[in-house]
Amino acid sequence: MDDGGGDALLEAFREQVRWCDKLGSPFTARLLEWLADDWLAGGALRTLLPTWSAGPPGQDLVPLRLAGALHALALSGRHPELAAAYPPAAAAFDAQVLAPRLRQLLVDEAGHLRATLASAPQTNEVMRSAVLIGGYAAIAEATRLPLALREIGASAGLNLLWDRFHYTLGAQTWGDAASPVHITSDWRGQPPTLPARIAVAERRGNDLRPVALSDPAAVLRLRSYVWPDQAARAARLQGAIALAQRDLPCVDGGDAAAWVERELAAPRAGVATVLLHSIVWQYLPGATRERIEAAVAAAAQRATQAAPLAWLRMEFFAKDAPAELRLTLWPEGRERILARSHPHGEWVEWL
């Protein structure tokens, strides 16, 4: 093991601990601290993960891969003693109880853990729809057309079903009160007034490795990346999965750039084509981002009032700053910063 690789790995753990504390998961923060200490002391984790060579450990989210793998074991039913020490059964991380169990699992479940470490975390945070819905309303108001949704980084496609959720957004409510997904977000600033209905003509997504909601193992893995002490997030995800399993959204697998090039190759008359993504851009390779930008620029030249194109993105545009919701709508081509928000959509500051 080279010291540089080890230093980078430990810094990735420290950075993720900071984010977990900041975003309200003290259990995951303390779990990752324990794992980093075990690695540093030459414990079972050092044997499992001597270093990391696939890419920068922080960029590859190695701590989240590991935390998700362990949470999956707690959710699986195969280790009731682990589940008993995880939320919701346990209120907080208890090192005295968990440490011996974790040390044993790092050995006994090494095969499962290595398999999970080999692939990137897969999340589908449906509360981000509390941010995106303001963009959909702006597009619908400007174009007076139904929306043709095209989402990159769609995971299981749950956010493509945003118009089937129920929302409490500051003083406003919107959507089907009988929906199994209830989203409450603190809307601040100058929030848009949502129309009673926003028409969706088409919905389609892309992901490098889509989550097949028909596969129980894939569903378990998706659930495992919701931090265990965030029960409201887990409930929203479960509700969205149940909703999607009634009518599975179409999510194409494969490279995002090739998909965007294909999907934006020709204008769609009578609908507003919306290319959208949320907390995805930072994970795409530079060459992929450049191809997507080129495909959008080419499609923008073909956009008309009868076949408009919108690019709606909720991303981190500056380091150590909140996420921003940005919208560019063609043929006008003007970019607008609509809002700043919590990365999970818990609050939105409308501008």
pLDDT digits (tens, 9 = 90+) for 183-192: 999 999 999 9
On the question of pLDDT at 204 being above 50, the answer is yes
Determine the average pLDDT of the residues in 311-340: 96
Identify any residues that bridge with 168 across adjacent strands, giving them in sequence order. 173, 184
Average pLDDT, the chain: 94
CA pair distance 191, 185, nearest whole angstrom: 12
Determine the average pLDDT of the residues in 56-65: 83
Per residue in 214-245, pLDDT (tens digit) is: 999 999 999 999 999 999 999 999 999 999 99
Contact partners, residue 59, CB within 8 Å, separation at least 6 = none
Per residue in 210-220, pLDDT (tens digit) is: 999 999 999 99
pLDDT at 3: 45
**Which pTM does this prediction carry?**
0.88
Task: Count other C-beta atoms under 10 Å from residue 23's C-beta.
Answer: 15
pLDDT at 2: 39
The residue written with tokens 């540089």 in the block is 4
CA neighbor of 288 nearest in space, from 131, 101, 88, 153? 153
Per residue in 142-175, pLDDT (tens digit) is: 999 999 999 999 999 999 999 999 999 999 999 9
Backbone CA torsion sign across 303, 308, 309, 312: positive
Would you call the peptide bond into 322 cis, given omega within 30 degrees of 0 as the criterion? no
CA pair distance 142, 124, nearest whole angstrom: 28
CA neighbor of 9 nearest in space, from 72, 66, 83? 66
pLDDT at 193: 92
pLDDT at 1: 33
Determine the average pLDDT of the residues in 290-300: 98
Percent of the chain exceeding pLDDT 70 equals 98
Determine the average pLDDT of the residues in 75-82: 95
**Confidence band, pLDDT 50/70/90 cuts, at residue 5:** low
Tokens matching residue 58: 């922080």
pLDDT at 56: 74
pLDDT at 54: 67
